[in-house]
């Protein structure tokens, strides 16, 4: 790949990122925040994340126990 084509790709990617950064705040987020639904979404995501962490800790303890027995 030539240096000029690489530079062109990098410049076009940076320009695209700049255009995305200038967008206004999504209306959906404002609507959910004003209705109080955003807290429900955060609570659901936190519950899912806590469940995944608990599952991984449980699996780690089981694996450690199996490794000790060997």
Q: According to the model, what pLDDT value does residue 54 have?
A: 96
Domain locations along the chain: 25-70
Q: In whole angstroms, what is the distance from residue 37 CA to residue 68 CA? A: 47
Q: What is the pLDDT of residue 45?
A: 96
Q: Confirm whether pTM is higher than 0.75.
A: no
Helices then strands, each counted (H, E), the chain: 3, 0
> For the chain (length 70 residues), average pLDDT per consecutive 10?
67 66 63 80 95 96 92
* Residue 40 to residue 37: CA distance in whole angstroms: 5
């Amino acid at each position: 790949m030539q240096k000029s084509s690489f530079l062109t790709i990098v410049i076009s990617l940076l320009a695209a990122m700049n255009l995305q950064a200038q967008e206004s705040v999504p209306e959906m987020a404002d609507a959910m925040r004003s209705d109080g639904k955003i807290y429900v979404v955060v609570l659901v995501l936190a519950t899912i994340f806590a469940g995944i962490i608990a599952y991984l800790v449980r699996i780690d303890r089981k694996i450690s126990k199996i490794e000790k027995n060997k």
